[in-house]
Structure 1
Amino acid sequence: MTERRVLTGAEFGQVIHEFEHTAFRLELQPAYLEPEEAGMLAAFLRGEPEPPDSVPELRQWFDRIAQHAQQGKRVERVRVQDDPPTDYQRFERWLDPWNVGAGEVMRYLTRQKAHEIALLPAAGSTDWWLLDSSRLILMHFDSNHRRVRNELVTDPAVVVQACMWRDLAVHHSVLASGQNAAV
């Protein structure tokens, strides 16, 4: 049975961790306006970065990723970024050691390269999580980079297309510094 439904914030927080083997995120936004990151982002931009694990929501994320990794599950993302990166994208790269330390595989692809390999504009401008290559969570953002809606999709044609975009993005991306090719 195919499903397409909007998830509440609480449902998103639950569904994102309901996978058996793999969770993959494609990030396409130049910035994200996430309330729990505002103070930390401002401090980073002032040159006074605070450890991200001091933010409860991020600490919970790192803990959940570590649990998934200990269970043999793989969490991976490809971030399509500008060259040079936006301020927010520089902030994301600064966060990499905590994400990687928790067990997440972080990869990068320039926006120009994404166009050269035809990932863009084909993949659109909506971020998503692909869970076990069978469920997709579309993440919709407004023009101010605020997430406004999360949508669960299980339509096989949509999911298979996301799998192809994932494979293309992973094949052409590079690992974040500090990771080796064996991940």
Structure 2
Amino acid sequence: MSQNVPGFEELLRGCERSAVHLETRDVYAVDYEESGFAAWKAGHRHDPADRASWWRPWLDLVSETVGRSVIIRRARIVSEPVSEYIEFEHHSTFTNVAAGESVRWLPRRRASDLCLPGNDFWLFDDRLVRFNHFTGDGASAGGEMREEQAVVKLCSSAFEAVWERATPHEEFCV
């Protein structure tokens, strides 16, 4: 199925109330994250005092969106013990939190009885879902937009169930 999938900048700029993101993979190999992961493995760590060096322009967009009173929440379902990649994500998440996102973590074993979509997704204003497709090794395989009420309801219910069980970032230890 071929479709025009808007970028995250367009979707967040059009968002009025809420944007939620569910991540379910233990590794991602998308270009913008892969370079950060390689630097982290080589010993680079973000300096909390040097905000200009953080993940730009994403964090600027998050700050701007939250500044318009849009609530952004991210939930991550992870295997334990966590993968090296998840360790990297956890270490870097303070930048997302500083930009205004609320982030929680849920060990995969605690999600076994939840009904979850087959792919990571973003849900914008409880009306529009953007599924993220990945290859087996974590590379991006594109996105898919959906607006059907049943799909929106599934994603909303799944996210809220994960969010309720998940541990806030500040309390989650890897």
8 Å contact kept, 1:136–1:153: yes
1:178 deviates by 7.1
Kindly provide the CA deviation profile for residues 97-117 of structure 1, in whole angstroms up to 9, marking residues without a partner as x. 1100000000100010011xx
Q: List per-residue Cα deviations over 1:57-77 (Å, max 9, x = no partner).
A: x21111111111111110101
- Quote the RMSD (CA, aligned, Å): 2.1
For residue 156 of structure 2, the aligned residue among 157, 163, 170 is: 163
1:39 aligns to what?
A: 35
State how 1:167-178 maps to structure 2 within 5 Å: 167-177=160-170
Does residue 27 (structure 1) correspond to residue 23 (structure 2)? The answer is yes
Counterpart-to-counterpart distance in 1, 2:98 and 2:111: 27
1:137 shift after superposition: 0.4
Cα contact 1:22–1:133 (8 A) shared by 2: yes
Structure 2 letter corresponding to 1:6: Q
Separation in 2, partners of 1:46, 1:79: 24
Provide the C-alpha distance between the structure 2 equivalents of 1:14 and 1:5, rounded to a whole number of angstroms: 21
- Once the two structures are aligned, what percentage of the paired residues are identical? 23
CA contact (8 A) 1:28 1:125 kept: no
Q: Which residue of 1 aligns with 2:59?
A: 62
In 1: Cα distance, 2:26 partner to 2:171 partner: 23
Aligned residues: 168
Contact 2:46 2:92 in 1 (8 A): no
Change (3 A) 1:6 1:85: farther
Q: Are the equivalent residues in 2 in contact too, given 1:7–1:149 (CA < 8 A)?
A: no
* Structure 1 residues 41 and 136: CA distance shift in structure 2, 3 A: same
- Secondary structure (helix, strand or coil) at the match of 1:79 reads strand
Is it true that 1:127 corresponds to 2:120 in the alignment?
Answer: yes
Asked if 1:13 is matched to 2:12, the reply is: no
Q: Do 2:117 and 2:158's aligned partners in 1 also have CA atoms closer than 8 Å?
A: no
Give the AA of the match of 1:19: C
TM (normalized to structure 1)?
A: 0.84
> How far does residue 12 in structure 1 lie from its aligned partner after superposition?
2.1
Quick check: 1:113 aligned with 2:110?
yes
- CA offset at residue 50 of structure 1? 5.0
